[in-house]
Chains A and B, each alone.
Chain A
Amino acid sequence: AQKVTQAQTEISVVEKEDVTLDCVYETRDTTYYLFWYKQPPSGELVFLIRRNSFDEQNEISGRYSWNFQKSTSSFNFTITASQVVDSAVYFCALSEEEGYGGSQGNLIFGKGTKLSVKP
């Protein structure tokens, strides 16, 4: 069965600190996709990144970076030099390949990590 665990319920940092949000996943599929979404206080979901299981290269986008390690089934998200605008709930999600084992390719979300960045 597929599962996504975000063990950190809430994190509070001071502006300019670096912060890492953890995501651990479970799947029996060899082809799968991992996602991060941001939900600011306004409530909408903002797509941040998608990564497929064959691409273990780390990704950097400005102050954001993602570390994908299949050996530990983790897809962690780091914000460098955090800012108040980074305050949000962040969700990690998993999707198995469509058609594998009857999978419909639906998204399974973690419970989210609430990040508060204080000035």
Chain B
Amino acid sequence: DADVTQTPRNRITKTGKRIMLECSQTKGHDRMYWYRQDPGLGLRLIYYSFDVKDINKGEISDGYSVSRQAQAKFSLSLESAIPNQTALYFCATGAELVGYNEQFFGPGTRLTVL
């Protein structure tokens, strides 16, 4: 079984709809992340959480919100989706090791907003 799972894997929705992308992990890590990937732009950090009570904005948090329901679950919401939020979204978990942060990525969710 995969250590980091994302649901759904693909989603097509319409402008203005509320969308939730879910991420679950069995790695036991405290840290979780949401990234967005656009062609030619690499991965950009949306939100991250170092534990259940800690939520932080990343580079591009506008238009998104998150919820850390438990250590193992981290959800990303688009309250009112717009076409420029069409992208590939990755969830990741992080293990705090000496000096650095080892990250493990989920398989990605491809979101299309029409």
Contact = CB atoms under 8 A, between A and B. Distances in A.
Given A106-B45, A109-B42, A111-B41, A43 B101 contact: no
A107 B101 contact: yes
Interface residues of A: mostly helix, strand, loop or mixed? loop
A104 B100 contact: no
Interface residues of B: mostly helix, strand, loop or mixed? strand
Given A95-B100, A97-B100, A104-B48, A44 B42 contact: no
B112 interface: no
B43 A106 contact: no
B100 A43 contact: no
Contact of A106 (B99, B101, B105): B101
A95 B108 contact: no
Interface of A: 9, 31, 33, 43-45, 47, 50, 52, 91, 95, 97-98, 104-107, 109-112
28 contacts: A43-B88, A43-B108, A43-B110, A44-B105, A44-B107, A44-B108, A45-B90, A45-B105, A45-B108, A50-B102, A91-B42, A95-B101, A97-B99, A98-B100, A104-B48, A104-B56, A104-B101, A105-B96, A105-B100, A106-B33, A106-B101, A107-B43, A107-B45, A109-B42, A111-B40, A111-B41, A111-B42, A112-B42
